[in-house]
Amino acid sequence: MARPSDYLFTSESVSEGHPDKVCDRISDTIVDLFLAADPYARVAVETLATTNHVTLAGEVRGPDSISPKAMEDAARDAIHKIGYAQKGFHWQTAKVEVLVHAQSEDIAVGVDATGNKDEGAGDQGIMFGFACTETPALMPAPLFYSHAILKGLAEARHSGATHHLGPDAKSQVTLRYVDGKPVAATSVVVSTQHSEGVNQEEVREIVRPYVEKILPAGWMCDEPHFYVNPTGRFVIGGPDGDCGLTGRKIIVDTYGGAAPHGGGAFSGKDPTKVDRSAAYAARYLAKNVVAAGLADRCTIQLSYAIGVSHPLSVYVNTDGTGQVDEARLVKVLQELMNLSPRGIREHLGLNRPIYARTAAYGHFGREPEADGGFSWEKTDLVPALKSTFGA
Protein backbone atom coordinates (compact mmCIF):
# COMPACT_ATOMS: atom_id res chain seq x y z
CA MET A 1 0.00 0.00 0.00
CA ALA A 2 1.40 3.39 -1.01
CA ARG A 3 2.07 5.98 1.66
CA PRO A 4 -0.24 9.03 1.63
CA SER A 5 1.36 12.26 0.46
CA ASP A 6 -0.31 14.52 3.06
CA TYR A 7 -0.35 13.37 6.68
CA LEU A 8 0.76 13.99 10.26
CA PHE A 9 3.54 11.95 11.84
CA THR A 10 4.80 11.95 15.43
CA SER A 11 7.98 10.76 17.14
CA GLU A 12 9.18 11.02 20.72
CA SER A 13 12.52 11.16 22.50
CA VAL A 14 13.59 10.77 26.12
CA SER A 15 16.53 12.38 27.88
CA GLU A 16 19.64 10.82 29.40
CA GLY A 17 17.95 11.11 32.81
CA HIS A 18 14.85 9.13 31.84
CA PRO A 19 14.82 5.93 33.97
CA ASP A 20 15.25 3.62 30.98
CA LYS A 21 18.03 5.78 29.57
CA VAL A 22 19.83 5.77 32.90
CA CYS A 23 19.88 1.99 32.56
CA ASP A 24 21.04 2.12 28.95
CA ARG A 25 23.85 4.47 29.95
CA ILE A 26 24.99 2.22 32.79
CA SER A 27 24.86 -0.91 30.61
CA ASP A 28 26.87 0.76 27.85
CA THR A 29 29.35 2.11 30.39
CA ILE A 30 29.98 -1.50 31.42
CA VAL A 31 30.49 -2.45 27.75
CA ASP A 32 33.06 0.35 27.44
CA LEU A 33 34.75 -0.73 30.66
CA PHE A 34 35.36 -4.22 29.26
CA LEU A 35 36.30 -3.15 25.73
CA ALA A 36 38.82 -0.64 27.08
CA ALA A 37 40.54 -3.52 28.89
CA ASP A 38 40.10 -6.11 26.11
CA PRO A 39 38.75 -5.15 22.65
CA TYR A 40 37.45 -8.70 22.21
CA ALA A 41 35.64 -8.99 25.54
CA ARG A 42 32.10 -10.34 25.47
CA VAL A 43 29.43 -8.38 27.33
CA ALA A 44 25.67 -8.73 27.70
CA VAL A 45 24.66 -6.69 30.76
CA GLU A 46 21.21 -5.45 31.71
CA THR A 47 20.44 -2.78 34.29
CA LEU A 48 17.41 -2.15 36.48
CA ALA A 49 17.09 1.11 38.41
CA THR A 50 14.52 2.19 40.99
CA THR A 51 14.49 4.37 44.09
CA ASN A 52 18.12 4.51 45.29
CA HIS A 53 18.81 1.05 43.90
CA VAL A 54 20.59 -0.26 40.80
CA THR A 55 20.95 -3.92 39.80
CA LEU A 56 23.34 -5.15 37.09
CA ALA A 57 22.79 -8.64 35.70
CA GLY A 58 24.16 -10.50 32.73
CA GLU A 59 27.05 -12.43 31.23
CA VAL A 60 30.59 -11.38 30.41
CA ARG A 61 33.88 -12.82 29.23
CA GLY A 62 36.83 -10.57 29.83
CA PRO A 63 39.77 -9.66 32.07
CA ASP A 64 39.62 -10.64 35.73
CA SER A 65 40.66 -7.06 36.49
CA ILE A 66 37.06 -5.99 35.80
CA SER A 67 35.74 -6.89 39.23
CA PRO A 68 32.22 -6.40 40.61
CA LYS A 69 33.61 -3.35 42.46
CA ALA A 70 34.91 -1.91 39.18
CA MET A 71 31.46 -2.37 37.64
CA GLU A 72 29.82 -0.73 40.65
CA ASP A 73 32.19 2.24 40.41
CA ALA A 74 31.47 2.57 36.68
CA ALA A 75 27.72 2.55 37.34
CA ARG A 76 28.06 5.27 39.96
CA ASP A 77 30.17 7.36 37.60
CA ALA A 78 27.53 7.07 34.87
CA ILE A 79 24.80 8.23 37.26
CA HIS A 80 27.01 11.11 38.39
CA LYS A 81 27.65 12.26 34.82
CA ILE A 82 23.93 12.25 34.07
CA GLY A 83 23.45 14.51 37.08
CA TYR A 84 21.58 12.51 39.71
CA ALA A 85 22.33 13.64 43.25
CA GLN A 86 18.77 13.62 44.56
CA LYS A 87 17.39 12.19 47.77
CA GLY A 88 15.56 9.38 45.97
CA PHE A 89 18.36 8.60 43.50
CA HIS A 90 21.92 9.65 44.30
CA TRP A 91 25.09 8.49 42.62
CA GLN A 92 26.87 8.15 45.96
CA THR A 93 24.20 6.60 48.17
CA ALA A 94 22.22 4.34 45.82
CA LYS A 95 22.73 0.63 46.47
CA VAL A 96 24.43 -0.99 43.46
CA GLU A 97 24.01 -4.76 43.20
CA VAL A 98 26.21 -6.63 40.71
CA LEU A 99 24.84 -10.00 39.57
CA VAL A 100 27.08 -10.58 36.56
CA HIS A 101 28.57 -13.99 35.72
CA ALA A 102 30.62 -15.69 33.01
CA GLN A 103 29.26 -16.09 29.48
CA SER A 104 27.58 -19.42 28.74
CA GLU A 105 29.91 -21.91 27.07
CA ASP A 106 27.03 -22.96 24.82
CA ILE A 107 26.82 -19.43 23.42
CA ALA A 108 30.58 -18.97 23.24
CA VAL A 109 31.11 -22.14 21.18
CA GLY A 110 28.70 -20.89 18.52
CA VAL A 111 30.21 -17.43 18.29
CA ASP A 112 33.95 -18.10 18.55
CA ALA A 113 36.05 -18.59 15.44
CA THR A 114 37.74 -22.00 15.49
CA GLY A 115 39.72 -23.82 12.79
CA ASN A 116 38.10 -23.10 9.44
CA LYS A 117 34.97 -21.69 11.10
CA ASP A 118 34.66 -17.89 11.07
CA GLU A 119 33.16 -15.99 13.97
CA GLY A 120 29.40 -16.52 14.10
CA ALA A 121 26.60 -14.14 14.97
CA GLY A 122 25.97 -13.78 18.71
CA ASP A 123 22.26 -14.47 18.24
CA GLN A 124 19.59 -14.96 15.61
CA GLY A 125 17.50 -11.97 14.58
CA ILE A 126 16.48 -9.38 12.04
CA MET A 127 17.93 -5.87 11.90
CA PHE A 128 16.83 -2.80 9.97
CA GLY A 129 18.61 0.31 8.77
CA PHE A 130 16.99 3.42 7.33
CA ALA A 131 17.85 6.80 5.84
CA CYS A 132 15.87 9.56 4.15
CA THR A 133 16.39 13.10 2.88
CA GLU A 134 14.16 14.87 5.44
CA THR A 135 17.09 16.31 7.43
CA PRO A 136 20.80 16.96 6.80
CA ALA A 137 21.56 13.97 9.05
CA LEU A 138 19.43 11.83 6.68
CA MET A 139 17.07 11.00 9.54
CA PRO A 140 13.27 11.25 9.88
CA ALA A 141 12.46 14.83 10.88
CA PRO A 142 10.08 14.23 13.83
CA LEU A 143 12.66 12.14 15.71
CA PHE A 144 15.57 14.36 14.69
CA TYR A 145 13.91 17.44 16.23
CA SER A 146 12.64 15.53 19.28
CA HIS A 147 16.20 14.46 20.07
CA ALA A 148 17.64 17.92 19.43
CA ILE A 149 15.21 19.65 21.80
CA LEU A 150 16.18 17.39 24.70
CA LYS A 151 19.88 17.55 23.89
CA GLY A 152 19.71 21.35 23.97
CA LEU A 153 17.97 21.31 27.35
CA ALA A 154 20.54 18.83 28.73
CA GLU A 155 23.44 20.98 27.54
CA ALA A 156 21.87 24.02 29.23
CA ARG A 157 21.46 22.05 32.46
CA HIS A 158 25.04 20.76 32.44
CA SER A 159 26.51 24.16 31.58
CA GLY A 160 24.56 25.95 34.29
CA ALA A 161 22.65 28.09 31.78
CA THR A 162 19.53 27.03 33.67
CA HIS A 163 19.40 25.84 37.27
CA HIS A 164 15.76 24.80 37.40
CA LEU A 165 15.68 21.69 35.21
CA GLY A 166 16.31 18.11 36.34
CA PRO A 167 17.79 15.21 34.34
CA ASP A 168 14.51 13.45 33.47
CA ALA A 169 12.67 14.69 30.37
CA LYS A 170 10.61 13.61 27.37
CA SER A 171 9.72 15.30 24.10
CA GLN A 172 7.30 14.62 21.28
CA VAL A 173 7.04 16.38 17.92
CA THR A 174 4.22 16.06 15.42
CA LEU A 175 4.94 17.30 11.89
CA ARG A 176 2.64 17.98 8.96
CA TYR A 177 3.75 16.43 5.68
CA VAL A 178 2.67 17.87 2.33
CA ASP A 179 3.57 15.98 -0.85
CA GLY A 180 5.55 13.64 1.38
CA LYS A 181 7.77 16.38 2.84
CA PRO A 182 7.66 17.88 6.38
CA VAL A 183 6.57 21.52 6.38
CA ALA A 184 5.60 22.49 9.95
CA ALA A 185 5.01 21.29 13.50
CA THR A 186 1.38 20.92 14.52
CA SER A 187 2.19 20.12 18.15
CA VAL A 188 5.20 19.94 20.46
CA VAL A 189 5.20 18.25 23.86
CA VAL A 190 8.01 18.63 26.41
CA SER A 191 7.83 17.21 29.92
CA THR A 192 10.85 18.01 32.06
CA GLN A 193 11.75 17.45 35.65
CA HIS A 194 12.18 20.71 37.54
CA SER A 195 13.14 22.04 40.95
CA GLU A 196 10.63 22.61 43.73
CA GLY A 197 9.04 26.06 43.67
CA VAL A 198 9.08 26.53 39.89
CA ASN A 199 5.60 26.66 38.38
CA GLN A 200 4.36 25.30 35.08
CA GLU A 201 4.39 28.65 33.28
CA GLU A 202 7.98 29.32 34.36
CA VAL A 203 9.08 25.94 33.05
CA ARG A 204 7.24 26.64 29.80
CA GLU A 205 9.22 29.84 29.27
CA ILE A 206 12.51 28.11 30.13
CA VAL A 207 11.79 25.44 27.53
CA ARG A 208 10.36 27.67 24.76
CA PRO A 209 13.60 29.14 23.34
CA TYR A 210 15.19 25.71 23.06
CA VAL A 211 12.26 24.45 20.99
CA GLU A 212 12.15 27.56 18.80
CA LYS A 213 15.90 27.34 18.21
CA ILE A 214 15.71 23.73 17.02
CA LEU A 215 12.69 23.88 14.71
CA PRO A 216 13.21 25.48 11.28
CA ALA A 217 11.99 29.06 10.92
CA GLY A 218 8.21 29.25 10.70
CA TRP A 219 7.69 25.66 11.87
CA MET A 220 6.68 26.35 15.49
CA CYS A 221 3.22 25.09 16.37
CA ASP A 222 0.51 27.48 17.61
CA GLU A 223 0.37 28.27 21.31
CA PRO A 224 -2.54 25.95 22.27
CA HIS A 225 -0.57 22.98 20.89
CA PHE A 226 2.68 23.75 22.69
CA TYR A 227 2.43 21.47 25.73
CA VAL A 228 4.98 21.80 28.54
CA ASN A 229 4.55 19.58 31.60
CA PRO A 230 0.87 18.92 30.86
CA THR A 231 0.33 17.41 34.33
CA GLY A 232 1.44 20.71 35.87
CA ARG A 233 4.21 19.33 38.11
CA PHE A 234 7.27 17.12 37.57
CA VAL A 235 9.56 17.35 40.60
CA ILE A 236 9.98 13.64 41.38
CA GLY A 237 11.65 12.04 38.38
CA GLY A 238 14.18 9.52 37.19
CA PRO A 239 14.33 6.06 38.76
CA ASP A 240 12.82 7.47 41.96
CA GLY A 241 9.62 8.22 40.07
CA ASP A 242 9.53 5.26 37.68
CA CYS A 243 11.49 2.01 37.44
CA GLY A 244 13.97 1.86 34.55
CA LEU A 245 15.22 -1.08 32.46
CA THR A 246 17.82 -1.45 29.73
CA GLY A 247 16.45 -1.68 26.21
CA ARG A 248 12.92 -0.34 26.62
CA LYS A 249 13.35 2.64 24.28
CA ILE A 250 14.33 0.88 21.07
CA ILE A 251 12.17 3.08 18.82
CA VAL A 252 13.65 6.22 20.39
CA ASP A 253 17.08 4.70 19.71
CA THR A 254 16.43 4.15 16.00
CA TYR A 255 13.97 5.95 13.70
CA GLY A 256 11.05 7.08 15.83
CA GLY A 257 8.65 4.65 14.20
CA ALA A 258 9.27 5.98 10.68
CA ALA A 259 10.93 2.68 9.69
CA PRO A 260 10.70 -0.97 10.78
CA HIS A 261 12.62 -2.23 13.81
CA GLY A 262 13.90 -5.76 14.27
CA GLY A 263 13.02 -5.87 17.95
CA GLY A 264 16.45 -6.22 19.53
CA ALA A 265 17.85 -3.54 21.83
CA PHE A 266 21.40 -2.20 21.47
CA SER A 267 22.64 -1.10 24.88
CA GLY A 268 24.66 -3.42 27.08
CA LYS A 269 25.86 -5.57 24.17
CA ASP A 270 29.35 -5.93 22.73
CA PRO A 271 29.65 -5.80 18.91
CA THR A 272 29.57 -9.57 18.36
CA LYS A 273 25.86 -9.21 19.11
CA VAL A 274 24.31 -8.52 15.71
CA ASP A 275 21.33 -6.86 17.39
CA ARG A 276 23.74 -3.96 17.71
CA SER A 277 26.46 -4.29 15.07
CA ALA A 278 24.23 -5.38 12.16
CA ALA A 279 21.73 -2.60 12.92
CA TYR A 280 24.65 -0.18 12.71
CA ALA A 281 25.77 -1.76 9.43
CA ALA A 282 22.27 -1.53 7.97
CA ARG A 283 22.05 2.17 8.86
CA TYR A 284 25.53 2.74 7.40
CA LEU A 285 24.57 1.17 4.09
CA ALA A 286 21.18 2.87 3.89
CA LYS A 287 22.72 6.27 4.69
CA ASN A 288 25.35 5.84 2.00
CA VAL A 289 22.72 4.88 -0.58
CA VAL A 290 20.76 8.07 0.16
CA ALA A 291 23.87 10.25 0.47
CA ALA A 292 24.98 9.01 -2.96
CA GLY A 293 21.71 10.26 -4.46
CA LEU A 294 20.56 6.75 -5.39
CA ALA A 295 17.27 7.13 -3.47
CA ASP A 296 15.40 9.61 -1.25
CA ARG A 297 14.45 6.83 1.18
CA CYS A 298 16.14 3.51 1.81
CA THR A 299 15.28 0.65 4.15
CA ILE A 300 17.67 -2.28 4.55
CA GLN A 301 16.99 -5.52 6.41
CA LEU A 302 19.62 -8.06 7.45
CA SER A 303 18.96 -11.41 9.11
CA TYR A 304 21.27 -13.79 10.99
CA ALA A 305 21.34 -17.15 12.76
CA ILE A 306 23.35 -17.71 15.93
CA GLY A 307 26.74 -19.19 15.19
CA VAL A 308 26.45 -18.56 11.41
CA SER A 309 28.93 -16.08 9.96
CA HIS A 310 27.03 -14.78 6.93
CA PRO A 311 23.65 -13.03 6.76
CA LEU A 312 20.77 -15.28 5.77
CA SER A 313 19.15 -12.48 3.80
CA VAL A 314 19.78 -8.92 2.61
CA TYR A 315 16.77 -6.83 1.59
CA VAL A 316 16.72 -3.31 0.14
CA ASN A 317 13.60 -1.17 -0.40
CA THR A 318 13.81 2.38 -1.75
CA ASP A 319 10.08 3.01 -1.39
CA GLY A 320 9.62 4.01 -5.02
CA THR A 321 12.30 6.73 -4.77
CA GLY A 322 15.22 4.69 -6.11
CA GLN A 323 17.24 5.68 -9.16
CA VAL A 324 18.81 2.22 -9.57
CA ASP A 325 17.73 -1.41 -9.66
CA GLU A 326 17.24 -2.69 -6.10
CA ALA A 327 18.39 -6.25 -6.91
CA ARG A 328 21.67 -4.90 -8.24
CA LEU A 329 21.97 -2.62 -5.22
CA VAL A 330 21.71 -5.65 -2.91
CA LYS A 331 24.62 -7.28 -4.75
CA VAL A 332 26.80 -4.15 -4.85
CA LEU A 333 26.35 -3.36 -1.16
CA GLN A 334 27.55 -6.85 -0.23
CA GLU A 335 30.59 -6.36 -2.46
CA LEU A 336 31.41 -3.07 -0.72
CA MET A 337 31.02 -4.41 2.82
CA ASN A 338 31.56 -7.82 4.34
CA LEU A 339 28.37 -8.36 6.36
CA SER A 340 29.67 -11.17 8.54
CA PRO A 341 29.88 -10.22 12.24
CA ARG A 342 33.68 -10.04 11.95
CA GLY A 343 33.46 -8.03 8.72
CA ILE A 344 31.09 -5.49 10.26
CA ARG A 345 33.22 -5.07 13.38
CA GLU A 346 36.39 -4.55 11.38
CA HIS A 347 34.87 -2.29 8.73
CA LEU A 348 33.28 0.04 11.31
CA GLY A 349 35.95 -0.36 14.00
CA LEU A 350 33.45 -1.42 16.64
CA ASN A 351 35.81 -3.11 19.16
CA ARG A 352 36.35 0.14 21.02
CA PRO A 353 34.92 1.81 24.14
CA ILE A 354 32.56 4.07 22.17
CA TYR A 355 29.13 3.05 23.43
CA ALA A 356 28.17 5.05 26.54
CA ARG A 357 27.76 8.13 24.34
CA THR A 358 25.19 6.32 22.19
CA ALA A 359 22.82 5.67 25.09
CA ALA A 360 20.80 8.90 24.76
CA TYR A 361 19.61 11.11 21.88
CA GLY A 362 19.72 8.32 19.32
CA HIS A 363 22.24 5.87 17.93
CA PHE A 364 21.75 7.35 14.45
CA GLY A 365 21.89 10.82 12.93
CA ARG A 366 25.00 11.73 14.96
CA GLU A 367 28.35 13.07 13.73
CA PRO A 368 31.21 10.56 13.30
CA GLU A 369 33.89 11.19 15.94
CA ALA A 370 37.68 11.14 15.73
CA ASP A 371 38.05 8.17 18.11
CA GLY A 372 35.71 5.99 16.04
CA GLY A 373 32.45 6.89 17.76
CA PHE A 374 29.42 6.78 15.45
CA SER A 375 31.56 5.34 12.64
CA TRP A 376 28.37 3.95 11.10
CA GLU A 377 27.35 7.54 10.27
CA LYS A 378 30.23 7.99 7.82
CA THR A 379 29.39 8.33 4.12
CA ASP A 380 32.67 6.98 2.80
CA LEU A 381 30.97 4.51 0.44
CA VAL A 382 29.44 7.34 -1.60
CA PRO A 383 32.29 7.62 -4.16
CA ALA A 384 32.20 3.86 -4.88
CA LEU A 385 28.40 3.84 -5.16
CA LYS A 386 28.36 6.81 -7.51
CA SER A 387 31.10 5.28 -9.64
CA THR A 388 29.38 1.89 -9.81
CA PHE A 389 25.99 3.31 -10.75
CA GLY A 390 27.20 6.30 -12.76
CA ALA A 391 25.43 8.72 -10.44
53-67 pLDDT per residue, tens? 999 999 999 999 999
Could you tell me where in the chain the CATH 3.30.300.10 domains are found?
7-14+140-236, 125-133+274-389
The structure's pTM equals 0.94
Residue 210 has pLDDT above 80, yes or no: yes
The answer on whether 342 is annotated among ligand-binding residues is no
Tell whether 9 is in a known binding site. Answer: no
Q: Is 103 part of any known ligand binding site?
A: yes
Residue 205 assigned ligand-binding role? no
59 is in an annotated binding site: yes
Say if residue 378 carries a ligand binding annotation.
no
| Sequence-ordered list of residues with C-beta below 8 angstroms from that of 295, at least 6 positions apart, any chain | 289, 318, 319, 321, 322, 323, 324
User: Is 234 annotated as belonging to a binding site?
Assistant: yes
Residue 78: predicted pLDDT: 98
| pLDDT averaged over every residue in the chain | 94
pLDDT at residue 147 tops 80: yes
357 has binding-site annotation:
no
In which band, very low, low, confident or very high, does the pLDDT at 120 lie, cut at 50, 70 and 90?
A: low
Closest C-alpha to 2, from 357, 317, 381: 317
| Whether pLDDT at 2 is above 80 | no
Phi-psi region of 256 (alpha: psi -120 to 50; beta: other; left: phi over 0): left
> Is residue 391's pLDDT more than 70?
no
| 20 labelled binding-site residue | yes
List the one residue out of 13, 43, 92, 56 whose CA is nearest residue 250: 13
Binding residue per annotation — 242?
A: yes
110 CB-near residues (< 8 Å, 6+ apart): 120, 306, 307
Percent of the chain beyond pLDDT 70? Answer: 94
* Cα 192 from Cα 235, distance rounded (Å): 9
Mean pLDDT on 273-298: 97
Domain 125-133+274-389 CATH assignment equals 3.30.930.10? no
348-360 per-position pLDDT tens digit: 999 999 999 999 9
- CA-closest candidate to residue 157, choices 148, 169, 168, 167: 167
Is 331 annotated as ligand-binding?
A: no
269 is in an annotated binding site: yes
- CB half-sphere exposure, 202, CA atoms < 13 A: 13
Contact 45, 273 (CB under 8 A): no
**Which of the four pLDDT bands, split at 50, 70 and 90, describes residue 95?**
very high
In this structure, whether the domain defined by 7-14+140-236 belongs to CATH 1.10.10.10 is answered with no
Q: Is 21 annotated as a binding residue?
A: no
273 labelled binding-site residue: yes
Residues 254-279 pLDDT 10s: 999 999 998 799 999 999 999 999 99
Looking at per-residue pLDDT, the higher value among 102 and 170 belongs to: 170
